[in-house]
Amino acid sequence: MGILEVRDLVVTVEGKKILKGISLSLEKGKIHALMGPNGSGKSTLAFALAGHPDYLIEEGRIFLNSEDITKLPPHERARRGLFLGFQYPPEVEGVRLREFLRLAAANCHEPFCEFQKLYLESLAYFRMDELGERELNVGFSGGEKKRSELLQMRVLRPKVALLDEPDSGVDVDGLRLIAAGIEEAARLGTAVLLITHYPRILEHLPISKVFVLDDGHIVREGGPELAWEIERSGYEAVRG
């Protein structure tokens, strides 16, 4: 059994069925890619797994580390080691990244001294020293927001990280940094689900598995070669 097991997940948003029976399994320390055209349901899956109240799980179950978390509120999932890297992280005025993350880390059982060390080290790792005292995502560029999400993941050390398009709107240097962060997390044991619709970032990473999502179904599942097939022929060709 994988560290994250999703079984027959059906999800509706505002009464509309978006995910129509998703099953997948994520392995500890491995990087999995979730690909698919716009509107196929990739972000919906990420939000539903993290427990967003607007994404209603109608059927199916989610297991994290063998525990059924299907009905848990978002913070309980996070405290058990689930992390969602947002595609569009919201701005939170007046709340400094450091104080927010300290609170988050305390909830995820990270002792303070450990946190302080990890935080400073991670700021340097993602070249964000100048952002550490800034308000959470306020006035961050697209690339800075993505690095801030990765920084949060690095500090919280989750068991499972769902990363929703960490590569979009990021320049080449930023992309290398983000890829390095993802690879490091996997090396330290995090199971990563990397959501993207461009194979570009995958070139930098050792991918163990690729899921292709289309119209609320997983239509293909395979090794890294599946990503190259999509790169060459587009989603039309890989649809089942």
Partner 1 sequence: MKRTSVGLTAELIEEISREKGEPRWMLEHRLRALEIFRELPMPRFGPDLSEVDFSDISYYLRTVEPVGSWEELPEEIRRTFEELGLPEAERKALAGLGAQVDSEVVYRSILEEVRAQGVIFEPMEEALKNHPDLVREHFMKVIPPEDNKFAALHGAVWSGGTFVWVPEGVEVAIPLQAYFRMQTQGVGQFEHTLIVAEPGSSVHYIEGCSAPRYTKAALHSGMVEIVVKEGAHVRFTTIQNWSRNVYNLNNKRAVAYAGATMDWVSGSLGSKVTMLYPSTILAGKGAKTENLSFSFARNGQWLDLGAKAIHLAPDTSSRLVSRSVVQGKAKSVFRGKLYVAPEAKGAKGHVECSTLLLSPEAETETIPTLDVRNHEVEVGHEATVGRVSRDQLFYLMSRGLDEAEALSLIINGFVSPILKEIPFEYAVELKRLLEMSFAEAIG
Interface contacts to partner 1, rule CB under 8 A: 50-54, 73-75, 77-79, 83-84, 86, 89-90, 92-95, 100-101, 103-104, 107-108, 135-136, 152, 156
- As a whole number of angstroms, the distance between CA 149 and CA 158 comes to 13
Smallest separation, CB 56 to partner 1 (Å):
14
Two tokens at 69? Answer: 């978390």
Nearer to partner 1 among residue 68 and residue 99 (C-beta): 99
For residues 220, 43, 198, 158, the Cα torsion angle rounded to the nearest 10 degrees is -90
- The DSSP secondary-structure symbol of 95 reads -
Nearer to partner 1 among residue 8 and residue 67 (C-beta): 67
Smallest separation, CB 81 to partner 1 (Å):
10
- As a whole number of angstroms, the distance between CA 130 and CA 106 comes to 23
How do strand 67-68 and strand 82-85 relate by DSSP bridges? unpaired
Nearer to partner 1 among residue 149 and residue 214 (C-beta): 149
Cα dihedral across residues 201, 31, 184, 228: positive or negative:
negative
Nearer to partner 1 among residue 92 and residue 124 (C-beta): 92
- Which one, of 40, 50, 49, lies nearest residue 19 by Cα? 40
Smallest separation, CB 199 to partner 1 (Å):
27
Q: How many residues does the chain have?
A: 240
Q: Are 96 and 135 in contact (CB under 8 A)?
A: yes
Nearer to partner 1 among residue 50 and residue 202 (C-beta): 50
Smallest separation, CB 95 to partner 1 (Å):
4
Smallest separation, CB 163 to partner 1 (Å):
13
